[in-house]
Structure 1
């Protein structure tokens, strides 16, 4: 049986919400009329994430849900966690969303038809206003604007944790990816543009969860993001045929 969709769930210390998130996700996936698999890719979680994943596997295999499980033996970064999932995926379509479901899984059903006429679908987040998360709102907007202007990206939001690809197209780009952290999201979109993949955006409602422990350090991650953006621009500007396998 050929798998149509491989859904990657990158995990790092997700015990607080993993079980409830997967229950909600399953209610969406069972609406699909085509075969799918779920890939848990764990980046060396230090809480009960692995235990909960095993509980989910035991419960849902009885419902004939296909699973794969990847476990890093050390923390390798968000980008590496997603990319390892893409590499082992068996579906015609492969993609991921963040396990906290700040972007709802219901958008998966809207994404798949778009891939009939493109190679990549990227979530474009719109934010309900909240004073509690206003600093993260402006930080995210600044990231998106900067990446779009500096890299001339065809999307408004390269950092959303909601991206889906045609497997045959995206796997050709993976050898050229350098970043294994949060900048991976921007790099994969930029490389998709460089390699002439057709990209579409899907507006997705983004609801910041304030009931979970965040793994994001705004100041530190902002600095790291800017540094990686500079390195990527230098890489593109100074790459030449035969030296660096990146096309303009």
Structure 2
């Protein structure tokens, strides 16, 4: 069974080699039953991300470098998924905020339990989460908005740790419009709207703040953008997309 792991990246020279190697070591030890590969979808980085990943890919054939000229997490993940063939498509954020110990369970939910989507949930009772109080408050508010607007059952739509099967790849991915951070939520909202089976799994999640690495997330503008996207998607779903 072919497993593709997409890693969206933009100016990640501080962490990308270390984290790719960590994923590879983990997959060799714990994911041997899958024909796995890693696609680093580079959003046209201006630092050394490109050269670092290309150098790693020359030594490790399971690592693939892919340039995505348009910026945005959503377009990076979508491009990596659409341009590569697999049975299961997964993505995780480049900073590995989610501990890799959750990866086998994420993939098994699709491969063995036959769910359509599996996603990490920081609200699962078994999850261990380290994040700032501000982010906790904003996350709870966003979760409430999604529940009110879409009656969403999934508790953590924006968590950057997800896997999908080919049916979702074929039927849901073409309906997704967001090229940015809202991609995570849009995937879950549309899939649930159309009745796809979704399983949330527990994760160990920790905000990463490596020295010299700037956060890609500006909380206030992003929160406002999310609200706009929520309203736009609600309108689209009401019009049956």
Aligned length, in residue pairs:
231
The equivalent of 1:124 in structure 2 is: 121
Equivalent position of 1:72 in the other structure: 68
Structure 1 CA distance for aligned equivalents of residues 215 and 139 of structure 2? 15
Give the CA RMSD over aligned residues: 1.7
> Which position in structure 2 is the counterpart of 1:14?
12
Please report how far the alpha carbon of residue 41 of structure 1 lies from its aligned counterpart in structure 2 after TM superposition. 0.8
Q: Once structures 1 and 2 are overlaid, which stretch shifts more, 215-224 or 161-170?
A: 161-170
- TM-score when normalising by structure 1: 0.87
| Cα distance in structure 2, aligned partners of 1:173 and 1:74 | 21
Mapped contact 1:92–1:168 kept (Cα < 8 A): no
Q: What residue number does 1:189 align with? A: 188
SS at match of 2:86: coil
**Structure 2: 5+ residue runs without aligned partners?**
none
- Between 1:85-94 and 1:136-145, the stretch displaced more is 136-145
Q: For the structure 1 residues 112 and 73, does the alpha-carbon distance in structure 2 shift closer, same or farther, using more than 3 Å as the test?
A: closer
Query: For 2:128 and 2:226, how far apart are their aligned partners in 1?
Result: 21
1:25 aligns with 2:23: yes
DSSP 3-state at the match of 2:118 = strand
Unaligned runs of 5+ in 1: none
CA distance in 2, matches of 1:145, 1:20: 36
**Deviation for aligned residue 1:68:** 3.3
Describe the SS at the equivalent of 1:136. helix
Q: Distance in 1 between matches of 2:42 and 2:73?
A: 9
Q: Look up the match of 1:90.
A: 85
Q: Within 2, Cα distance between the matches of 1:89 and 1:106?
A: 25
Distance 2:15 2:188 in 1: 28
CA contact (8 A) 1:4 1:91 kept: yes
How far apart, CA to CA, are the structure 1 residues paired with 2:154 and 2:206?
Answer: 20
Q: Where does structure 1 differ by over 3 angstroms across 4 or more consecutive aligned residues?
A: 126-130
- Following superposition, the deviation at residue 129 of structure 1 comes to 4.8
